[in-house]
Amino acid sequence: MKIGIIGATGNAGSALFAEAAKRGHQTTAIARNPARAAEVLGDDAAILERDAFDLTAEDLAGFDVVVNAFGAAPDQAHLHVDLTQSLVDQGRGEHAPRLVFILGAGSLTTGGDNHLFVEDLRNLPGAEAWVSIPENQLKQLEQLRTVTEVDWVGVSPSAQFTPGEATKPTLGGDALLYAPDGESHTTTGTMAVAILDEIEEPAHRLTRFTVSDS
């Protein structure tokens, strides 16, 4: 398949790029800075030099799947929502690709009352410095849930999303998952495996699922 990855130089995006390439897919990094992308992904990496916000319907039509692994700083967290809208707007039409969005864990539910995990995050010390990111990722999911004319799927990690090797992914729905060690965590490697599995054998459409380490 032809797979485009937005945010391919980040932790999640670079793990996805490596996993997709390992499986033999025609994988392209969509990046504003091709030199940086080549530094992270290798000089032989296929790179489309483009700001994600400037992607056109024609650009997207060149891929079977586009994965949005974009990450923004806390003071620009609204860009998660803005980019999602832009991709949805450009991702309509006969030759549009499937869109895969990496979402945060804040939109998952937890506890006996099934409250949103972002409510717990807001209560952590110093949360005011970064909580805008999970808050906007929640808005991102709410936004996607209104979209029916574009083939999309969202994927959320567990509470701790860190660089690391892949384990066998454990999948869930809208509730926060916990690994066998009792902690809630997902490595970028596990996330990459889960997303590529979904790309190759679609099991979720117009919905979000979550991934945990095993």
Best CA proximity match to 7, nearest among 36, 30, 41, 38: 30
CATH number at residue 6: 3.40.50.720
The whole-chain average pLDDT of the chain stands at 97
Q: DSSP alpha helices (H): ranges in 96-177?
A: 117-122, 132-144
pTM for the model stands at: 0.96
How many domains in the chain? 1
Rounded-to-integer distance, Cα 51 and Cα 155, Å: 23
pLDDT average, residue stretch 99-107: 97
pLDDT average, residue stretch 167-190: 97
Task: Say whether pLDDT at 1 is over 90.
Answer: yes
| Contact of 106 with 137, CB cutoff 8 Å | yes
- pLDDT > 90 in the chain, percent: 98
At 18, the pLDDT band (50, 70, 90 cuts) reads: very high
Task: Say whether pLDDT at 94 is over 90.
Answer: no
Q: What is the pLDDT of residue 110?
A: 98
> What residues contact residue 33 under an 8 Å CB cut-off, 6+ apart?
9
Q: What is the pLDDT of residue 93?
A: 83
For the stretch 35-75, pLDDT in tens is 999 999 999 999 999 999 999 999 999 999 999 999 999 99
Give me the domain span that covers residue 63.
Answer: 2-212
Q: What is the pLDDT of residue 22?
A: 96
Mapped onto helix, strand or coil, the DSSP state of residue 51 is: coil
Count Cβ atoms within 10 A of the Cβ of residue 47 and give its class: 0-12 exposed, 13-18 middle, 19 or more buried: middle
Q: What is the pLDDT of residue 147?
A: 97
At 79, the pLDDT band (50, 70, 90 cuts) reads: very high
- pLDDT > 70 in the chain, percent: 100
